Structure 1
């Protein structure tokens, strides 16, 4: 009777638990739905969302928001004719500028500045009319462009920082839809190829979509509770992480679940065994990614600091969905979800020649030679980083040239030795005249005029004699900052200087934090110092080699004129955090093999043979999702997506398969120093606990992780 009751209770639990999990997820989604829908409302791509938090240029932008009319929208109307402007062209320009002044509130009276060769006439135009509202700014830019039209060989382009911000905003706003659809399509194709099933691929893909929706709601909550910066870049990366990392976790779980179904009769029990076997590795891998991303909170750059929490939200939402919702759905669907390759109870998996077994054999025969060759290859690739182009200027930040950039290029050719965009100085109101005099006496300054004044501050617009973002203009900005104590110097060029300097500072702080946090997690998981150091050195080498490949590709092949200042730091954080994932899958399995009695070389080769397939599949999915960024319209996203994709592929097919395995074979038991496995052999096979009794079952079960 008691046994019958136990069986009945167990059967009821098998039926109830998946439905309970499903019900909890439905309730959670209903709760977050209103918040997820509002994420777009708090997503902004203002310059202050990307600038360093405490830099001069940020202070200028924030104070300008408080001045009468709010932040100034600065535009430049550029009239150009190749053969030289005619009197009629100049009259047309004057009429159009007068019409714009009649329709909008401009600061001062726009004055035309002709080029020395007579081909170009520029009209700097500034307005406080839109205030800080991005939509109103974009409306102003659109109105000006509608009025400023050329004909009969006269070209008219609208540039300046305001137009550049509008064009950038259009690109960012266009990312969300294509980024999501392309990511879903790429993951769907790869899952179909991996699973070879008309149904199974839909399950992890749908769960990843639900996790993405959940992450949007949580991200909105972070913004409302803590003011977390949400930009087009950070929200796009969050989506990439949800689908990339989430699909990786799904691949590991589904692969293990398929194998357990051959040994366990009931799907519920098979899923419990699968979660027990691969759960620790998945938890540890997600922990390293989350810890690495959270280190970005120490960055001073707003865009980097905001990306840390959003990336972490994406990874944790993916983890929760793949360890709870995905198992529940798979159990409810039963074995038929694997059709036509249904794993029957008691059957044996079809034995096929394993590519990873062959690769492991070659690494096992001559580990030192393989290790040395791989190290030389990675070192040679890393040298390509010296060929990376210089810092990316704002006009070079778009893949396809918008009108604002075309205007800046026209100005650069027509006014090669003069400034064409203002440097903004904010000074205390009581010292405005003194500051103005100092500015005019500063070397490299062409002109300076007082603008708006508030209760506490006065705005001064400065034109340099040198071209924008040139070395000479940079020297002028630095001289102004050095000589104007108590004042702030901003503007487009100053913002670029602050971005570069702050990225350099952030790299020195964040990189050690990432390395320390990842090492601590690995040490706790692997109970060793040598194995974690081996994994971290490997991913750092991958990062350096990936940047080197970028140096060989960005300029010569893609034609990029510069490298985004944040590329080094962001690619390091993502490659170290994500790359260690695959090291965890491999080394955790290797440790389990050693605990079950395998000698060191056999443990290393068995770990590679049994996890190589799922690691390769996961690496392909993750690389493909980040590669989606290379199809976006911003050079910074293309560069980041390229470096991370290349790095993941290097890590998956070279470092994990050959170098880490070779190093483990060469070090033998020393790889586990100073843990117990480095001092004494593990228990002989069969001497551990029996099935269902703890660690021994986990070690034995994990031997069948493959990809069908």
Structure 2
């Protein structure tokens, strides 16, 4: 009796596990989201989107902003009220301007009385307005700017716009705060449409989409915790990219898992057992690829630019939360829903995959017949567009940073036209109080300086407001800023133009440091995963070529077709990190299958072509989803997001349909077992490939 009872108990445990484990996982996720939801909702409140918040802590302009915060009243909000009439201002226009600026002065504590500056042609009048009333509170700054705009109104042919650094920062804050909803809704819609087309099921597409939404909420909560606990800088840009990665990368992992699960359901009766087999089959590749992506992104921690350094852990959190959700919650939901989730294309137990010749079989055939010719043509197709990178427009200026024109940009454009040879925004100098007199004299004697005004003092520092003779962000003003930094020992020079210069310097430094770090870290991980040196070098070289081609295509599109007048200084670095990390991600999926086929005894050519046929469909679907999610950024009103979305979307498509399908496969065929050198697979003897075409497999 005892001997009979023991097998019965042994059989009951797997059955209990099948019933209990999926429900337990679901319950844990419900509890996790209940805890994470309130924290996720707070993420928008900790975003910092001022230009100075993106800069390194050591930058000269950052020091200016920090000292200004400690001065009486804190950092000043600098505005310019711009009154303009095409035919020339009338006496009534000037009277109205004086009355409105007086009303602003009565309603707010200004640091100085506004005085008008008229353009030479008589069409424009500007009133600089400065106030420390809002202090360091972003909401108070926004309210102050809105109140000034409510007072400064024109009509009857008179245009009145409020510009200046304070208005520009406020408009940027509003744009970034408004991104969350539209970005999320558009991303969800794009992913939903693609999943419906891929799965051709009225229910299945909804499951990974819901899981991605859960992962996004979890990642927002985790990032909020990082900000509170470790002071990680959260910007509107990094939050947007994290959401894109959660839905893009998460859906990619879902496509791979669901494809393998569908395959296992034809061989295994119970959904739970089929899911276990699917996780064992594709889980290691998914975990390895996501880990590689996260490691590449974390290299941004070495960046000097605060926004880039914060982007690394935030993006990595998005990828890892997507991985966690897609390897736990998604399998649990699919098991609980059973085979019916695939309706109407339900995989029947014991059925055979439909035999058909796929697009990737045809691609593999051409790569297998003439691998060297395909490699040469592919190299030209990647190399030629890369030359377009020389056509990228210069560094993006503040007035060109929006894809649409808010009030502050219209004001800046009006000022640039009406005052072509004059600065319309001050350069801020913070100098030790005991040397303020000397600094004032030196600043006035500096070439390119039109006027210097002494400002507030406090904490041992004195603020000087310097007006340059050249217009903002021009080569002349930049030379003036550099001269002030050289001549004024112990002082700090800041302001909008100085911040832009510091950002460019930091980006150039980060490109030199982070790029080699990403390449080395990704290469080492690939060597450990693939146990080869040649294959990792091939994959890394391929993604670097894709990055160059994508930037080159951007150079052919940004200014000639889209009318963009500058390139975001952070674009080369961020696009490199994302394209290398995500491109290697797909390379792991393909080469993992090539290795698997080789270990099973297939000859090198057969292994490469079989891997392409069996993974090509899934990788293509995943690439389309990821490219589409990054393309969502092109609909956003910030040029930096548009450019990043374009370059990464183009790069992912090139990587998916050119590099993975043709170049990597052709290289595998051409190199044969040498691609696994110096690993054991490079030395194992095999029978040579015959001329026969390997059996055709169904694409996922």
Fold conserved between structures, TM > 0.5 = yes
Partner of 1:697: none
CA contact (8 A) 1:595 1:683 kept: no
Matched, 1:517 2:518: no
In 2, the alpha carbon distance for the partners of 1:70 and 1:520 equals 48
Q: CA–CA distance in 1 between the matches of 2:589 and 2:300?
A: 25
For 1:194 and 1:301, how far apart are their aligned partners in 2?
40
Over 3 Å counting, the alpha-carbon distance change for 1:192 and 1:707 in structure 2 is farther
Give CA-to-partner distance per residue, 1:55-92, whole Å, 9 cap, x none: 11111111111111111000111111111112222121
For 1:276 and 1:29, how far apart are their aligned partners in 2? 27
Partner-residue secondary structure (3-state), 1:175: helix
Question: Could you tell me how far apart the structure 1 residues matched to 2:160 and 2:696 are?
Answer: 67
- After TM superposition, give the deviation of residue 682 of structure 1 in Å: 6.7
From 7, 16, 19, the equivalent of 2:20 is 16
Whether contact under 8 Å (2:358, 2:698) holds in the other structure is no
State the partner residue of 2:572.
568
Matching of residues 54-69 of structure 1 within 5 Å: 54-69=58-73
Which residue does 1:30 correspond to in 2? 34
Contact 1:387 1:552 in 2 (8 A): yes
In the TM superposition, 1:238-637 aligns within 5 A as 238-637=242-641
CA contact (8 A) 2:215 2:322 kept: yes
The whole-number CA distance in structure 1 between the counterparts of 2:696 and 2:9 is 34
Whether the aligned pair in 1 keeps the contact of 2:355 and 2:698 (CA below 8 Å) is no
SS in 2 for 1:463: strand
Distance in 2 (alpha carbons) for counterparts of 1:555 and 1:40:
32
Query: Which of 116, 120, 143 lines up with 1:116 in the alignment?
Result: 120
Residue 350 of structure 2 aligns to a residue whose secondary structure is coil
Is residue 680 of structure 2 the alignment partner of residue 679 of structure 1?
no
Matches within 5 A, 1:19-168: 19-168=23-172
Match of 2:692 in 1: none
* Matching residue of 1:696: none
3-state SS, counterpart of residue 371 of structure 1: helix
SS state of the match for residue 83, structure 2? strand
Name the structure 1 match of 2:237: 233
2:686 and 2:210 mapped to 1: Cα distance? 42
Q: Deviations over 1:406-430 (max 9, x none)?
A: 1111111111111111000111111
* Cα 1:682/1:295, change in 2 over 3 Å: farther
- Contact 2:613 2:699 (C-alpha < 8 Å) held by counterparts: no
> Does the 8 Å CA contact 1:45/1:169 hold for their aligned counterparts?
yes
Q: Residue 214 of structure 1 corresponds to which residue in structure 2?
A: 218
- C-alpha RMSD of the superposition: 1.4
Question: Matched residues in 1 for 2:273 and 2:685: separation?
Answer: 32
> CA contact under 8 A between 1:630 and 1:639: conserved in structure 2?
yes
Structure 1 CA distance, aligned partners of 2:500 and 2:697?
A: 49
Matches of 1:243 and 1:173 in 2, distance apart?
A: 20
Match of 1:690 in 2: none
Task: Quote the offset at 1:300 in angstroms.
Answer: 1.0
* Residue of structure 1 aligned with 2:192, choices 178, 183, 188: 188
Asked if the contact 1:255–1:707 (Cα under 8 Å) also holds between the matched residues in 2, the reply is no
Distance 1:705 1:343 in 2: 16
- Deviations along 1:179-230, one digit per CA (max 9) or x if unpaired, are 0000000000000000000011111110000000111111111111101111
What's the TM-score once normalised by structure 1's chain length?
A: 0.96
Secondary structure at the counterpart of residue 453 of structure 1: strand
Aligned-partner Cα distance in 2 for 1:652–1:208: 22
1:33/1:684 CA distance change after superposition, 3 Å: farther
| Offset, 1:238 | 0.6
Partner of 1:699: none
What SS does the aligned partner of 1:424 have?
strand
Classify 1:636/1:201 alpha carbon distance in 2 versus 1 (closer, same or farther; 3 Å): same
Aligned-partner SS, 1:263 = coil
Contact 1:259 1:704 in 2 (8 A): no
Cα separation, 1, equivalents of 2:506 and 2:685: 50
Matched, 1:224 2:228: yes
Contact 1:287 1:521 in 2 (8 A): no
Q: How many Å separate the matches in 1 of 2:381 and 2:353?
A: 37
- How much has 1:27 moved relative to structure 2? 2.0
What is the CA distance between 1:37 and its match in structure 2? 2.0
Distance 1:649 1:82, change over 3 A: same
Q: For residue 350 of structure 1, report the CA deviation from its aligned partner.
A: 1.1
Cα distance in structure 1, aligned partners of 2:78 and 2:297: 36
Structure 1 range deviating more: 31-40 or 115-124: 31-40
Give the secondary structure class of the aligned counterpart of 1:447: strand
Contact persistence 2:354–2:698 (CA under 8 A): no
Give the drift of 1:52. Answer: 2.3
User: Against the structure 1 CA distance between its residues 500 and 706, is the aligned structure 2 distance closer, same or farther, given a 3 Å change threshold?
Assistant: farther
* Unaligned stretches of 5+ residues in structure 2: 690-694
Q: Normalising to structure 2: TM-score of the pair? A: 0.97
Deviations 1:110-162 (A, max 9, x none): 11111111111111111101001111111111111111112222211111000
**How far apart are the structure 2 equivalents of 1:591 and 1:337?**
32
SS in 2 for 1:563: coil
> Could you tell me how far apart the structure 2 residues matched to 1:520 and 1:633 are?
39
Q: Report deviation, 1:31.
A: 2.3
TM-superposed CA distance for 1:683, in Å, is 11
In structure 2, the residue matched to 1:691 is none
What is the distance in 2 between the residues matched to 1:575 and 1:369? 26
Distance in 2 between residues matched to 1:282 and 1:306, nearest whole Å? 25
Report the 3-state secondary structure (helix = DSSP H, G, I; strand = E; otherwise coil) of the residue aligned with 2:127.
Answer: strand
**Contact 1:259 1:705 (C-alpha < 8 Å) held by counterparts:** no
Report the CA distance shift for 1:9/1:455 in structure 2 as closer, same or farther (over 3 A): closer
- Tell me, yes or no, if the aligned pair for 1:107 and 1:126 is still in contact at 8 Å: yes
Q: Which residue of 2 aligns with 1:693?
A: none
Q: Tell me the distance in 2 between the aligned counterparts of 1:31 and 1:91.
A: 58
SS in 1 for 2:266: helix
Q: Is the 8 A contact 2:613 2:697 kept in 1?
A: no
- Is the 2:52–2:499 Cα contact (8 Å) retained in structure 1? no
2:356·2:698 contact (CA, 8 Å) conserved in 1?
no
Give deviations 1:452-474, integer Å, cap 9, x for gaps.
11121111000000010000110
